[in-house]
Structure 1
Amino acid sequence: MEAVTPLDACVTMEPDEGRVAATRDRLVTPEEAARLADLFRLLGDQTRAQLLYALLEAGEMCVCDLTETVEVSDTAVSHALRLLRTAGIVAGRRSGRMIYYRLADSHVRMLLDLSREHLRHEIVAG
């Protein structure tokens, strides 16, 4: 009787040493991997994702506008913005007693645009 091999396993246990070495040389460091995991954990919350896309579309918004837009309490919005600001994903601009939030830079904008495009691609391809 023939042994059954799982689809996601190697048929042989003989790795391509050249490919492994070349890939290992370009791999992110453990520190970079930890920072990336933290970033994606932050983006992995529905409220924070909605806030980021609201800022992507509007450019700049205050807490009360964000609260109304995503229909979440001002406490939840403030907490989410604090986490995102600390991580360098959003930035704030003070105008008198108001603080207006925006995406921190074009990299965040690009990440959000690509993520949305990926979701749309999955729906069409699915």
Structure 2
Amino acid sequence: MDAAKQFSGREADSQYVELAVEVFSMLADATRVRLILALRDEEMPVNQLAEIVEKSPAAVSQHLAKLRLARFVTTRQEGTRVFYRLANEHASQLVSDAIFQAEHSLDGTPRHHHQPDEASA
């Protein structure tokens, strides 16, 4: 067996399979997916995120706490405000890939398969 493959974690018997299932479980909630999408490009406080995802700040705080425990997001405190940001690019990529996969369930050619000049037409 190739040494790089052996340690990649992408084999069917990898110890990471169960952890990957937990990652998917964490993303099996529309509000959490929306929060990850909102945090793709910048950090934000709870109230701003609550407006974006159209949920109460209390509900958003609970979702962010779960995402923080799962190490999807990290925080930075500035005075009394707490700002959330993605811990790394992987959560954003997972969500983007899931949306691309969802587009395949629609009729026709998914938007992500269009040429850049076709998409603007």
* TM-score category, normalised to shorter length: 0.7 to 0.9
TM-score scaled by length of structure 2: 0.72
Among 30, 38, 45, the residue aligned to 2:29: 45
Q: Distance in 2 between matches of 1:26 and 1:62?
A: 39
1:1-126 map, 5 Å: 26-29=11-14, 31-56=15-40, 58-123=41-106, 124-125=108-109
Change (3 A) 1:84 1:28: farther
Residue identity in the other structure for 1:75 = A
**Take 1:77 and 1:95, find their aligned partners in 2: how far apart are those partners?**
19
Provide the TM-score with structure 1 as the length reference. 0.70
Letter of the aligned partner of 1:110 in structure 2? Q
Distance in 2 separating the partners of 1:105 and 1:116 = 19
- CA RMSD, aligned part only? 2.0
Secondary structure of 1:102 counterpart: strand
Q: Secondary structure at the match of 1:122?
A: coil
**Count of residues in correspondence between the two structures:** 100
Greater helix proportion? 1
SS at structure 1 position matched to 2:55: coil
Question: Which ranges of structure 1 fall in alignment gaps of 5 or more residues?
Answer: 1-24
Moved over 3 A (4+): none
Computing the radius of gyration from Cα coordinates, the structure with the larger value is 1
What SS does structure 1 have at the residue aligned with 2:18? helix
Q: What is the identity, as a one-letter code, of the residue corresponding to 2:12?
A: L
Cα–Cα, structure 1 residues 28 and 96, in superposed 2: closer, same or farther, change >3 Å?
farther
Structure 2 runs not aligned, ≥5 long: 1-9, 111-121
